[in-house]
Structure 1
Amino acid sequence: MEQRHLGRTGLRVSRIGLGTLTWGHTDENDAADLMKAFWEAGGTLVDTADVYGDGEAEYLLGRLMERLVPRHDLVVATKAGSVPDPERRVDGSRGHLLAALDASLARLGTDHVDLWQVHAFDPDAPLDETLQALDIAVSSGRARYAGVANFCGWQLAKAATWQLAAPGTRTRLASTQMEYSLLQRGVEREVLPAAVDLGVGLLPSSPLGRGVLTGKYRRATPADSRGGSDQLAPFVAPYLDDAASRIVDAVVTAADGLAATPLQVALAWVRDRPGVTAPIVGARNAQQLAAALSVETLSLPDEICQALDDVSAPVHRYPDQDWSTL
C-alpha cells in the first residue's frame, strides 16, 4: 500500500487507516482477522482512542501487537480528552490528558504511541495548557507525534499556529481527524484550508458516510447494518435524507461505469482529495475490510471526480464566496 507523509512531518503512514471504534464489542478472533488482513496488505496506520469500548479497543490492540503483528510494523494512533461524563464530555486539562496517555500505554502494552491526539477541543481548559500536554508527551518519549481531532477551523488554526510560534520548543501538529466524505464536506469550509496552509494532515473519519455511501441503504435498512441497530440507528439517520440519496445514486452510477463498487468510488474520492493523508476505515469484519483495501488500485478519472464534486457540493456563501461576485 502506498505510504504518505502525515502533514509536514517525516512520519509516513499507509494511505488507508484501520479504525477500531467498534473493537470494544468485537470478538478477539474477528479483530485478529482484521489486523492480519490490514498488515498483509501493507497497512500501517491503526487508529484508536482511550474511550473506545471504555479502553477495551486499546487493550485488544495491545494483545494483537504482542502475539500477531510486530509493534514496529504499525503506526499506532490513539486519542485522549473525551470522558464518559454527561456533565463534562471533554477534559483538555494537562493532568487529565497525561494520566490518560499513561493509561493508554499500559493497555496497549507499549512504551510509546506514534501519534497522540487530543480528541476534542475543551472550551473550559486554556488551549496552551492542552497543547503543553502534547509537548510533554513528545519530549518524554511517550508519543512520537501529536495531533488533534474534532477541532473547528479557528480552533485548529489557533492551535497549530501556537505550536509553530516556538520551533524546537513546541511540537508541531502533525494531523487533525475530522469526519469527511461525499455526504459530509463541511471541513472544506475552514478546517481543510487551515490544515493545508499550516501543514497539518487530514485523517478523515467516516469516509463512507457512516456506511451510507456503500449503497446498502438505497432500498431498505438491512437488519444487520448499523442503521438497523437500536444503538447506532441515530448515527446513520442524518444521512438517509433525499439529498444524500441523490449523492448515493451518483456514486452508484459512477461505480457502474467504472466496473467498480460504490464503496471503492466513495473511498477513492476522499482518499485523493487535496490535504487528505489517510481515511480511517472502520470495518466490522474481514470481508468489509478487504472491500475497502481493494481501492488501492483505483484512481478516479477527472470527469468522474468533477461529477461527484458537483452533485455533493456544499453551499458556501459569504464570507467564503469571492467578494467580487457579490
Structure 2
Amino acid sequence: MQQRPLGRSGLAVSRLALGTMTWGRDTDPDDAAAQLKFYLEAGGTLIDTADVYGDGDAESVIGSLLDQLVARDQVLIATKAGLGTSGHRRRDASRGHLLRTLDAALRRLGTDYVDLWQVHGYDGGTPLEETLGALDHAVSSGRARYVGVSNFTAWQTARAATWQTAYPGRAPVVAAQMEYSLLERGIERELLPAASALGIGVLAWSPLGRGVLTGKYRNGRPLDSRAASAHLAAFVQTYLEPRSSSIVQAVVTAASGLGVPPLEVALAWIRDRPGVAAPILGARTAGQLQGALRSEELTLPAEITQALDDVSAVPFGYPERDG
C-alpha cells in the first residue's frame, strides 16, 4: 500500500487507514483481530480510534491485539479525546480532561505513546490556547508524537494551526479528521483550502457516506445494517434522501462499467482527492474490510472521476467564489 506524508510533516501514513468505531461493541475481538490481520497484510499502517468508541473498549481491543499480531513500532496509532462522556458537557477540551483521558487511553492501548493525538471537537467553553497547551504538553512529555484536530470548522482549524506556528517549540497541527465523501463535500468550501495552505493533511471519516455509498440501501434497509441498528439508525438516516440516491446511482453505474463493487469506486474517488492523506475504513466485519481494501488496486478513469464530481458537486458562492 502506498504511503503518504501527513500534511507538511515527517509522518508517513498508509493511504487507507483502519477505523475502529465499532470495535468492542458491534465488532467482537475475534473479528477485530481478523480485520487487523487483513489490514496489515495489505500494507496498512494507520489505526484510528477514540476514547469514546465503545466507551474505551475499542482502545482496549487494540491494546490486546498489539502483542499478538504486530510489534508496536510497526503500526501508527491515532486516537482522539475531547468529547464529554458524562455530565453536562458535550465537549470538554480543557487541559485537565484531555490529559486525564490521554493517560487512560495509553493504559488501555498498552503503550507509552500514540503517534497522532487529535482533539475530537471544538470546545467553545475552553480557551483555545488552553486546549493547545495540552497538546504541546502531550508532545513534550513523549505521550504523543504528532497532534491534530477533528470536526473543527475552517476558521477554528486555521486559528489553532496559526497559534501553534506563532512561536518555536509548539507542536504543529498536522492533521484534520473530517467527514468527507461523495455525499458530504462541505469541507471543500473552506476547510480543504485552509488545510492545504497551512500544511495540514485530511483524514476522511465515513468515506462511504455512512455506508450508503455501498448501494446496500437502494432497495430497503438490510436487517444486519447500521440503518437497522438502534444506536446507528439516525447516523445513517441523514443520507437516505433523494439527492443521495442520485449520487449512489451514479456510483453504481460507474462500478458496473468498471466491473467492480460500488464501494471500491467511492473509496478510490475519495482516496485521490487533493489534500486527503487517507480515508478511514470503518468496516463492521472482516469481510467488509477485505472488500474495501481491494479499492487500493483501482484508479478511476478521468471521465468517471469528472462525472462523479459533477453529480455530487456542492454549491459555491460568496465569499468562496466571488464573481
Q: TM-score, normalised by structure 1?
A: 0.97
3-state SS, counterpart of residue 115 of structure 2 = strand
The structure-2 alpha-carbon separation of the partners of 1:180 and 1:86, relative to structure 1 and needing over 3 Å to count, comes to farther
Residue in structure 2 matched with residue 312 of structure 1 by the alignment: 312
Distance 1:146 1:214 in 2: 32
Residue 257 of structure 1 and its aligned partner are, at CA, apart by: 1.2
Post-superposition Cα deviations, 1:100-137, rounded to whole Å, max 9, x if no partner, equal 11111111000000000011100010001100111111
Residue in structure 1 matched with residue 189 of structure 2 by the alignment: 189
1:143 aligns to 2:159 (yes or no): no
Residue 285 of structure 1 and its aligned partner are, at CA, apart by: 1.0
Post-superposition Cα deviations, 1:270-289, rounded to whole Å, max 9, x if no partner, equal 00000000000111111111
1:244-323 to structure 2, matched below 5 A, reads 244-323=244-323
Post-superposition Cα deviations, 1:128-153, rounded to whole Å, max 9, x if no partner, equal 11001111111111100000100001
Aligned-partner residue type, residue 252 of structure 2: V
Aligned-partner residue type, residue 136 of structure 2: D
Distance 1:36 1:229 in 2: 27
Residue 322 of structure 1 and its aligned partner are, at CA, apart by: 2.7
Residue 41 of structure 1 and its aligned partner are, at CA, apart by: 0.8
Mean Cα deviation higher: 78-87 or 101-110: 78-87
3-state SS, counterpart of residue 78 of structure 1 = strand
Distance 1:105 1:75 in 2: 14
Residue in structure 2 matched with residue 226 of structure 1 by the alignment: 226
3-state SS, counterpart of residue 148 of structure 1 = strand
3-state SS, counterpart of residue 278 of structure 1 = strand
Residue 297 of structure 1 and its aligned partner are, at CA, apart by: 1.2
Residue in structure 2 matched with residue 180 of structure 1 by the alignment: 180
List runs of 5+ in structure 2 lacking aligned partners: none
3-state SS, counterpart of residue 289 of structure 2 = helix
Distance 2:162 2:271 in 1: 26
Post-superposition Cα deviations, 1:229-249, rounded to whole Å, max 9, x if no partner, equal 122111111101000000000
Distance 1:30 1:205 in 2: 21
1:48 aligns to 2:49 (yes or no): yes
The structure-2 alpha-carbon separation of the partners of 1:249 and 1:75, relative to structure 1 and needing over 3 Å to count, comes to same
Post-superposition Cα deviations, 1:31-52, rounded to whole Å, max 9, x if no partner, equal 1001111111111000001111
Distance 2:301 2:295 in 1: 14
Aligned-partner residue type, residue 299 of structure 2: S
1:21-170 to structure 2, matched below 5 A, reads 21-25=21-25, 26-85=27-86, 87-167=88-168, 169-170=169-170
Residue in structure 2 matched with residue 2 of structure 1 by the alignment: 2
Post-superposition Cα deviations, 1:161-197, rounded to whole Å, max 9, x if no partner, equal 1111113x10111100000000000111111111111
Post-superposition Cα deviations, 1:28-71, rounded to whole Å, max 9, x if no partner, equal 11110011111111110000011111111101100000222211
List runs of 5+ in structure 1 lacking aligned partners: none
Distance 1:153 1:85 in 2: 28
Distance 1:229 1:118 in 2: 28
Aligned-partner residue type, residue 144 of structure 1: R
Distance 1:165 1:300 in 2: 40
Distance 1:229 1:143 in 2: 35
Aligned-partner residue type, residue 299 of structure 1: T
Distance 1:9 1:210 in 2: 29
Residue 24 of structure 1 and its aligned partner are, at CA, apart by: 2.5
Residue 16 of structure 1 and its aligned partner are, at CA, apart by: 0.4
3-state SS, counterpart of residue 279 of structure 1 = strand
Distance 1:229 1:117 in 2: 28
* Count of residue correspondences: 322
Q: TM-score, normalised by structure 2?
A: 0.98
1:210-221 to structure 2, matched below 5 A, reads 210-221=210-221
3-state SS, counterpart of residue 151 of structure 1 = coil
Give the share of equivalent positions with the same residue, in percent: 63
Distance 1:283 1:117 in 2: 21
Structural RMSD (CA): 0.9
3-state SS, counterpart of residue 210 of structure 2 = helix
Post-superposition Cα deviations, 1:264-306, rounded to whole Å, max 9, x if no partner, equal 0000000000000000011111111111110111111111111
Residue 73 of structure 1 and its aligned partner are, at CA, apart by: 1.0
